[in-house]
Amino acid sequence: MALLSSAAVLLGKELRTEFRSRELLTTTTVFVLIVIVLFSFSFDPTSEESRRFGAGLLWLAFLFAASLMLQPCFLREQSNDTLSALRLSVSDPFAIFLAKLVANTLFLLLTELLLLPVFAVMYNVQVLPMLHWLVLVFFLGSLGVSITGTALSAISAQARMRELLLPLLLLPLLTPILVASTEVTAALFDRSPYVQWKGVGFLAVFDLAFLTILWLLGEYLLEE
Amino acid sequence: MTPTVFSPTGIRFENIDKRYGGLYALRRVSLEIAAGECVVFAGRNGSGKTTLLRIAARLVRPSSGSVSFLNGGEERGGTVPPAGFVAHATMVYDELTAEENLLLFARLQGIAEPGARAETLLREVGLAERRSSLVRTFSRGMRQRVAIARALVNEPAVVLLDEPTTGLDPEGASWFAQTLRHLRDSGRTMLMSLHGESEVSTLATRAIRLDAGTVVADTLTGANFRSILAFANV
């Protein structure tokens, strides 16, 4: 219970600081918007092409946005050495990760949901009938991205060339998520939409596996 | 300062080594700090002062050797409450108010009445009227007041201070020395690293000089005391 109560307190802090500054949400949303518009201008896709390639473009944009969003996750704990204060205060360091990954998932999901209508209009894709399933895929995909990205953010924050390191580590590791999320989303964009349960199951297992790894190894990632 | 509710705690460092790659930050450091002592670590940059304090705070794991906390000369059993740690970095959030910072750390440490504790601390560090201001709007001296309030949120028996007066103006340093005097007189064990002599260093009851990660001088009082502190400026 101490873990969950610490995580809840820290999540409150993450949300408060972000909604006060709106740094991450604003920059990430604008970034994804630019990527979606640029893709649209480059390809000028027909409705059929959008259904085939739109899901991939959408998830690539989300992954780029995530690498942007996750970068400051631990980096901003360094300017005042607040990470040390947190480590001194929590009984289980996993609480720090749990709060950050939940916050990152929420921020990412919010960005995705804000941009979905823009994508639907620009790429002429019907999203409303399958919205609840899309939300599920976005959630599972974003959770996987956040778990992996939060862990890597903790590693890269202590390294030299930290700004370059995170995307270099993150994007290859997220290939399975990109593939699975794209396939499930493409099936939902299909002329006859359907839920690709195999992909949904894969995303859930990926999330669970990486969450367990983070729980087991998180303490070592925070060590100096 | 708040009346003491902690149990007096000493610290024992046994054969501490800390290596970063092939480089020794600390080499075979063995020290015993009695409960209530106020120890100043002096030495050049890179002599190992910060590493030793961070090992005492359990923020850094030694490569070999051990740190234990003592009660009446015997090793304390069970979970030892975290030490209060004050460094030149404030360890508080600029985007939160002074009160929000203290509430955050009080809640994380399971303080029974976080609101009342934050209120008391804000009054003690003279920031009650600025409780709702964001820390980023504070001067360096005010930030350091929040930092010390945060470090004392759980009423620690051990307070670790890593060059806490860096960047403070004379007035801020004087307030800080006054506050540390109260802490020392309340029976807390204090370990601090300093650069040279100052109002804060006069509080020390023991001075230890580190050089290249090893203890080269350790004295309680007398002529050596000042020379140990002065050496840090060389």
Determine which of B12-16, B47-51, B177-181 has the lowest per-residue pLDDT on average.
B177-181
pLDDT above 90 covers what percent of chain B?
Answer: 55
Q: For position B223, what pLDDT does the model report?
A: 59
In a domain, B132, yes or no: yes
- Work out the pLDDT band at B231, boundaries 50, 70, 90: low
B105: domain range?
93-155
pTM of the prediction?
A: 0.89
- Residues B193-207: pLDDT tens digits? 987 777 788 888 898
Residue to test with chain B: of A77, A80, A222, most B Cβ within 10 A? A80
The pLDDT tens digits of the residues spanning A45-58 come to 777 777 788 899 99
Q: Return the pLDDT at A192.
A: 82
Distance CA(A9)–CA(A18), nearest Å, equals 14
Residue A80 to residue B89, Cβ atoms within 8 A: yes
The pLDDT of residue B199 is 78
Confidence band for B105, pLDDT divided at 50, 70 and 90:
very high
pLDDT at B29 (0 to 100): 94
**Min Cα separation B156/chain A (Å):** 12
Residue B3 has pLDDT above 70, yes or no: no
For B94, the closest of A5, A80, A86 (CB atoms) is A80
- A-chain residues near B93 (CB < 8 A): 13, 17, 80, 82
Q: Which residues pair with B13 in a beta bridge?
A: B31, B67
pLDDT at A43 over 70: yes
**What does the pLDDT read at residue B234?**
42
Tokens, residue B117: 């504790």
Report the alpha-carbon distance of residue A158 to residue B178 in Å, rounded.
36
Please count the structural domains in chain A. 1
Contact B85 A88 (CB under 8 A): yes
The answer to whether residue B116 is domain-embedded is yes
Write down the pLDDT at residue B222: 64
Kindly identify which residue of chain A lies nearest to residue B111, measuring between CA atoms.
A89
Greater pLDDT, A202 or B222: A202
Q: How many Cβ pairs within 8 Å bridge chains A and B?
A: 64
**Worst-scoring range by mean pLDDT, A58-67, A186-195, B150-159?**
A186-195
At residue B162, the pLDDT reads: 92
More confident residue, A96 or A156: A96
Average pLDDT, chain A: 90
| d(C-alpha A96, C-alpha B129), whole Å | 31
Shortest alpha-carbon distance between residue B66 and chain A (Å): 17
pLDDT at A205: 97
Residue in chain B lying closest to A3 (CA): B108
How many domains are there within chain B?
1
| Optimal mutation site among B18, B54, B59, B135, interface A, most CBs of chain A within 10 A | B59
Residue A175 per-residue DSSP state: H
Partners of A84 on chain B (C-beta within 8 Å) are 54, 57, 59, 85, 87, 89, 91
CA-to-CA distance for A117 and A111, rounded, in angstroms? 11
Instruction: Give the mean pLDDT of B120-148.
Output: 92
Whole-number pLDDT of residue B78: 62
Share in percent of chain A as helix, strand, coil (round to 5): 85, 0, 15
B68 Cβ under 8 Å from any chain A Cβ: no
B134: pLDDT strictly greater than 80: yes
Q: Which residues of A touch B110 (CB under 8 A)?
A: 2
- Nearest CB to A90: which of B61, B83, B108? B108
pLDDT at B137 over 80: yes
Domain of residue A154: give its range: 2-221
Residue B119: its pLDDT value, please? 95
Question: Which one of A67-81, B85-99, B184-198 scores highest in mean pLDDT?
Answer: B85-99
Residue B35 has pLDDT above 70, yes or no: yes
Interval A63-114: pLDDT, tens? 989 988 998 889 889 889 999 999 999 989 999 999 999 999 999 999 999 9
The residues with which B10 forms a beta bridge, in sequence order, are B70
Determine the pLDDT at residue B91: 95
Q: Residue B190 pairs with which residues in a beta bridge?
A: B38, B159
Q: How far is A24 from chain B (nearest CA, A)?
A: 14
Nearest to A75 by CA among A7, A8, A166: A166
A82 vs B contacts (CB less than 8 Å):
91-93
Are A13 and B96 within 8 A, CB to CB? yes
Give the span between the Cα atoms of B15 and A114, in whole angstroms.
Answer: 57
**Which of A6, A14, A88, A160 would best serve as a mutation to test chain B binding (most B beta carbons within 10 A)?**
A88
Task: Indicate if the pLDDT at residue B57 is higher than 80.
Answer: yes
**pLDDT value of position A23:** 85
Cβ pair B72, B64 in contact under 8 A: no
pLDDT band at B12 (very low <50, low <70, confident <90, very high): very high
Q: What is the mean pLDDT of residues B113-129?
A: 93
Residue closest to B98 by CA, chosen among B71, B131, B70? B131
Residue B234 lies in a domain: no
* pLDDT beyond 80 at B96: yes
**Quick one: pLDDT at residue A5?**
94
* Inside any domain, residue B109: yes
